[in-house]
Each structure stands twice: as structure tokens, then as C-alpha cells.
Structure 1
């Protein structure tokens, strides 16, 4: 089994396209309006921004949390700044001997998005 699609609420597809385009560094793959659907490709998983979808918390892996926040500029309200939430001793939930960094922002539509990156533990 594999995850195929995740849906997230978006009132304004154009505004959401700008926000997620900046965050992901990619253009939308498809827009169907009406009925109000916007798609991005996340390495083979479709991110659907939909006027009728409920809000969800998305956790998106980025190369560097701080750099992702810089790319967003003033487009996002920072809910929680970058911080280490966990050090992975083994590879059960992430790469062994790496710190997991996270930051949380509100997207253009008011949804919470977690940004996640992994850095080798400093020795």
C-alpha cells in the first residue's frame, strides 16, 4: 500500500498556488476550476488543494527548514520557529544519528503546515 493523495482546504486557489509554489519550488501540475481543485506533485504523491476539503496538518520534508522559511518570505505566519524536536538514535522514525528539525507555519489559507528536515548529529 502507498499513499497516493492528500487533500488540504483552500478557499483561494490562486493564492494557494502562490504559497505552495514558493514553498515547494514547483508549479502546480493541474488546476480544475470549476470545481475548485489545484494539484501539486510531491514525489509521486498528489497534494490536492480543494475548496471543499477539510483542513489538515501537513508535514513536508524540506532540505533545510530555515531556508524553506526564507523562500516563503512574508507569505506565512510562523507558528513555531525552527527547533530540534528529536534526535534519532536508530532509523525507526528517521535517519539514525540525525536531529529532526521542525517549524510550523500557517499557509495562505489558514492551515497549519509542519516543515521537517534532518541534520546529522553534531559530534
Structure 2
């Protein structure tokens, strides 16, 4: 079994498309309006932004949380600034010998989005 799709609420598809294009660095892969569906490809998992979807708390892996927050800071409220939450001693939840950084931002539609990156411990 593998995850195929995650849905996230979006009132304004244009605004959401701009926000997620900035955050992810790629344009949407598909749009169907009506009925109001916008898709991004997250390495084979579809991110669906839809007017009728409930809010979800999603975590997106990015290359560097600090850079990602800077990139979207004008269009998003930073809920929690980038910080180290854990150092992985083994590979159970992340790569051994790496710090896990997280930050939380509020997207253009009012949803909280977690951002995660891994950096080799110095």
C-alpha cells in the first residue's frame, strides 16, 4: 500500500496555485474548474487543492526549511520558525546522523503546512 493523494482546502485556486508554485518550485500538474480542483505532483503523490476539501495538516519535505520559509514569507504567516526538532541516531524515522528541521507556515488559504528538511549533524 502507498499514499496516492492528499487533499487540502482552498477557497481561491488562483491564490493557492501561486502559493504552492512558490513553495514547491513547480507549477500545478492539472486543473479542473469546474468543479474546482488543482493538482500538484509530490514525487508521485498528488496534492489536491479543492474548495470542498477539509483542512488537513500536511508535512512537506523540502531541501532546506530555512530557504523555503524565506521564499514564501511574504505570502504566508510563519506559525513556527525553522528549528531543529530531533537528531536521528538511527534510520527509524529519518536518516541517521542528521538533524530534522521543521517549520510551520499558514498557506494562502489559512491551512497550516509543516515543512521538514534533514541536515547532516555537524
With normalisation by structure 2, the TM-score equals 0.98
- State the 1:67 CA deviation: 0.7
Looking at structure 1, the residues matched to 93 and 4 of structure 2 have their Cα atoms a distance apart, in angstroms, of 20
How much does 1:68 deviate? 0.6
- Counterpart CA distance in 2 for 1:106 and 1:47 is 16
Structure 1 runs, 4 residues or longer, greater than 6 Å off:
none
Equivalence for 1:77: 77
Q: Tell me what 1:20 maps to.
A: 20
Structure 1 regions of 5+ residues with no counterpart? Answer: none
**Alignment-derived partner of residue 30 in structure 1:** 30
1-structure distance, mates of 2:10, 2:28: 14
SS of residue paired to 2:74? helix
Structure 1 residue 69, shift from structure 2 partner: 1.2
Write out per-residue CA displacement over residues 15-47 of structure 1, whole angstroms, 9 at most, x where no aligned residue.
000000000000001111111100000001000
State TM-score, norm by structure 1: 0.97
What is the count of residue pairs matched by the alignment?
Answer: 122
Deviations 1:40-78 (A, max 9, x none): 000010000010000001100000001111221400100
**Structure 2: segments with no counterpart, 5+ residues:** none
